[in-house]
A and B are shown apart, each in its own frame.
Chain A
Amino acid sequence: DTGVSQNPRHKITKRGQNVTFRCDPISEHNRLYWYRQTLGQGPEFLTYFQNEAQLEKSRLLSDRFSAERPKGSFSTLEIQRTEQGDSAMYLCASSLFGLGGELFFGEGSRLTVL
């Protein structure tokens, strides 16, 4: 296992289309996080899972966003009816421990909405 894997790495889409990102965490990690990052800014928390349970969602996560982790392993983040303001880097991270534990990040999925 070489770390957290995200795909696709880049996605260009037209406004109004749906997109889905996938994250494969480090296999023994039970916690999985999604963050959104715009250029030069710090990552903003979106949601996180412990195993298959989604435990918290940010107010940033509108109804157009949905995340799943069906078997407690990989996760998907879907954005419906994309808007130009959704353009950002979507980062996935996993951790073995809870509060205060190290987050291991993937390389991110960059979304551009035209």
Chain B
Amino acid sequence: TQLLEQSPQFLSIQEGENLTVYCNSSSVFSSLQWYRQEPGEGPVLLVTVVTGGEVKKLKRLTFQFGDARKDSSLHITAAQPGDTGLYLCAGANTDKLIFGTGTRLQVFP
């Protein structure tokens, strides 16, 4: 069974702080995606990384795919209350996505 473990599970920070969320697996994935989910809604795609070592930036969010394509990280600079939500990594396996365990982020003003 492929597992994607995310850490930390919960993160509660003040506006303006930086944070990093980690996504780790013992399996290799052909690509990895990050989604954000807000209460009462479905997950929404933030980014897809495909190449080992790839780094993508989306405004204050920086995503990195590990060289071996087994792990990934999401770094948020100067977090804002609007960043609050459940962050999910998801690895592509055959024709489906396997989701990580999730990191719930709360950013206080």
Contact of A41 with B31 in the complex, beta carbons under 8 Å: no
Of the candidates A40, A91, A98, A102, the one whose C-beta lies within 8 Å of that of B95 is A98
Q: How many A-B residue pairs have CB under 8 A?
A: 65
- Which residues of B are found within 8 Å of A43, using beta-carbon distances? 43, 88, 99
Check: A35 CB closer than 8 A to any chain B CB: yes
**In the complex, how many angstroms separate the beta carbon of A35 from the nearest chain B beta carbon?**
7
Contact indicator per residue, chain B 35-48, by CB within 8 Å of chain A (1) or not (0): 00000111111001
B42 contact from A45, A56, A91, Cβ within 8 A? A91
A41 touches B42 (CB 8 A): no
Q: Do B100 and A42 touch (CB < 8 A)?
A: yes
Query: What is the CA–CA distance of A79 and B73 in the complex, to the nearest angstrom?
Result: 37
Q: Is the CB of A102 within 8 A of B45?
A: yes
Among A33, A55, A102, the one with the most B-chain Cβ atoms within 10 Å of its Cβ is A102
In the complex, A78 has a CB within 8 A of chain B: no
Contact of A40 among B43, B86, B98 (CB under 8 A): B86
Whether, in the assembled complex, B19 has its beta carbon less than 8 Å from a beta carbon of chain A, the answer is: no
List residues 50-86 of chain B with CB under 8 A from any CB of chain A: 50, 86
Residues of A within 8 A of B43 (CB): 43, 91, 103, 105
For residue B61, give the distance in angstroms from its CB to the closest CB of chain A: 16
Interface residues in chain B, defined as those with a beta carbon under 8 Å from any beta carbon in chain A:
4, 6, 30-31, 33, 40-45, 48, 50, 86, 88, 90, 92, 94-102, 104
